[in-house]
Amino acid sequence: QDGSQLPNNLSCLQSLFLLDEGGKADSESLIAKVISRSKHLRSLEILDLGGCTRIEELPKDIRYLISLRKLMVTTKQTHIQNLTALRELYIEECNNLVSLPQGLKFLATLENLAIVNCEKLDLTMEELELERKEDGSLRKLWIGGVPKLESLPQWILLGSTKTLQHLYIGELENWRMSQEGMQHLTALKRLMIGGCPKLSKRCIEETGEDWPKIAHVVDIIVES
């Protein structure tokens, strides 16, 4: 419930899940105390803060989590660029998030990225600032519940043309399939579309107007 009850020896800890139980715990204070010991959390691989919706930002000491491979957050983070081992990043339920953390462009080993239910997020704001080289490692991408998003951002396309294998699109009513963008994803094996009635209609096999843009994908799942 509070930082004073945390064990002294955390050096062997590999997974950590912190929850905000209806306001019973001071989430931000607890997380700050845990992360303040991050120099001793060199073995931590998974950090799940998915239930801590009230924290505004993680402490800068998160940079010491050098083995962290999977991070789940519900708010914007500005100190993730030093998480060089990070393979999975889940940004969910960030209702006040308007732009992505700048450190995202430095996560060269990132393989799985999920951006879900961030109603104010405008990914087009990142086009000039989050330029990525064409040697990224992104393999799986989930995007859903981002009303302002109309197409796959260029900074994602440029960094994953040869690596992205799975693309999941959900609840994006304004999404428009770009033929040029989709054809650049030469490694794409699976495309899943759900919660997008208009888009699903346009992607009906053979008859949909967007079908020619995605027909090269081996596995296509479209929910009506």
Q: What is the pLDDT of residues 37-55, one digit of tens each?
A: 666 677 788 888 766 666 6
- Check whether 117 has a pLDDT greater than 80: yes
CATH 3.80.10 domain range(s) in the chain? 87-224
Let me know if 48 is exposed, middle or buried by CB neighbors in 10 A (0-12, 13-18, 19+): middle
pTM: 0.78
Burial of 152 (0-12, 13-18, 19+ CB in 10 A): buried
Which amino acid, one-letter code, is at 147? P
Task: For residue 1, name the pLDDT band (cuts at 50, 70, 90).
Answer: very low
For the segment(s) 87-224, the CATH number from 3.80.10, 1.10.443, 3.10.450, 3.30.70 is 3.80.10
Q: Which helix (H) or strand (E) holds 116?
A: strand 112-116
| Amino acid type, 42 | R
CB distance 173 to 150 below 8 Å:
no
